[in-house]
Amino acid sequence: MQLDGIHHITCITADAPINVDFYARVLGLRLVKQTVNFDAPDVYHLYYGDERGAPGSILTFFEFPGAAPGRAGAGMIHSLRWRLSTPEALEFWAGRLESEGVACEHVPGESALRFRDPEGLTLELAVVATADPPLAAESEGIPSEHALLGFDGVRAYSHGLRTAERLLTEVMGFTQAAPGAYVLQGGRRSASYAYDEPPAALGLQGAGTVHHIAWCDRDSDHEAWREHLHEVGAHPTPIIDRQYFLSVYFREPQGVLFELATPSPGFAVDEDPDHLGEELRLPPRYEHLRGRLEQLLTPLENPRTRAARP
């Protein structure tokens, strides 16, 4: 069995309208789904990605309105990195972020930019040479050759001894690239996962923090992965239907919440692929709540809808 890189990364926001403006308009990702948190349907679950919401491009946010700012600590992912194709793209982004009032810095020794989202989450854009398919979205004001091309990897905080290494290398198929740094290769898409020493302060889940990362498996392997994780003592959950994919969750030994998610059925399962993310979609079991939820949730405008308007 082979994992195919990152499926999605899920974070927390306290303010969905600001979140949509930043990720869909400023960064140019496509808002591919407006739905609710299936475990707590009173709050939004927003999905961003490339044109179709392909695994490897998907960033999701739970909205907890008014949530206090969090901070990343041990056992939490603290930064996300997307790929760009060329140094010209990197310079385009340095200019675009500056014009949007987003402070950014060049990462020393790398062809990469580092900045923060409106709630303090650390993000990076890096020029990466890869044969992986580019996972880009079309967006007004962003030339297609400069678009974000899907995730490259993430970094997490962990103290010294890394008991996660066996799970990563022997069970999940990562290889160690450097001390505390791992790469997932050989599948349809590669990804990196690395640890840094955590800050002194304890981590706090809240606005601007990462909730979990999902790795992409294959539809026919999902049950076997769950069995395998169970056999090695990783305590996976039962398979859970997330409407757009099937999921199992487990915690890696350093404390980061992992998920394995399937590529199917994808985001076109409940709406026209040309109009993804333009209206609130609910799974059948929550349709009866639609009236109440539409009153409760702050209305959002997908920048794609606005751009299409004559």
Site residues (vs Zn ion, CB under 5 A): 10, 214, 259
CB of 259 to Zn ion, least distance (A): 5
Distance CA 28, CA 104 (A): 17
| Residues 208, 227 contacting (CB under 8 angstroms) | no
- Closer CB to Zn ion, 156 or 214, in the complex: 214
Distance CA 11, CA 72 (A): 11
- Closer CB to Zn ion, 10 or 79, in the complex: 10
Q: 112-116 and 104-106: which strand pairing?
A: antiparallel
- Closer CB to Zn ion, 55 or 70, in the complex: 55
| Residues 46, 34 contacting (CB under 8 angstroms) | yes
CB of 62 to Zn ion, least distance (A): 10
CB of 214 to Zn ion, least distance (A): 4
Helix, strand, or coil here: 184?
Answer: strand
CB of 124 to Zn ion, least distance (A): 21
- Closer CB to Zn ion, 37 or 305, in the complex: 37
Q: Scan for tokens 């907890």, then name that residue.
A: 64
**CA of 164: how far to CAs of 41, 128, 212, in Å?**
33, 26, 15
Task: Look up residue 107 and give its DSSP letter.
Answer: P
- Closer CB to Zn ion, 96 or 242, in the complex: 242
CB of 212 to Zn ion, least distance (A): 6
Q: Scan for tokens 């349907």, then name that residue.
A: 41
Helix, strand, or coil here: 98?
Answer: helix
- Closer CB to Zn ion, 37 or 122, in the complex: 37
CB of 223 to Zn ion, least distance (A): 18
Closest CA to 119 of 10, 8, 22: 22
**CA of 258: how far to CAs of 10, 213, 253, in Å?**
10, 5, 10
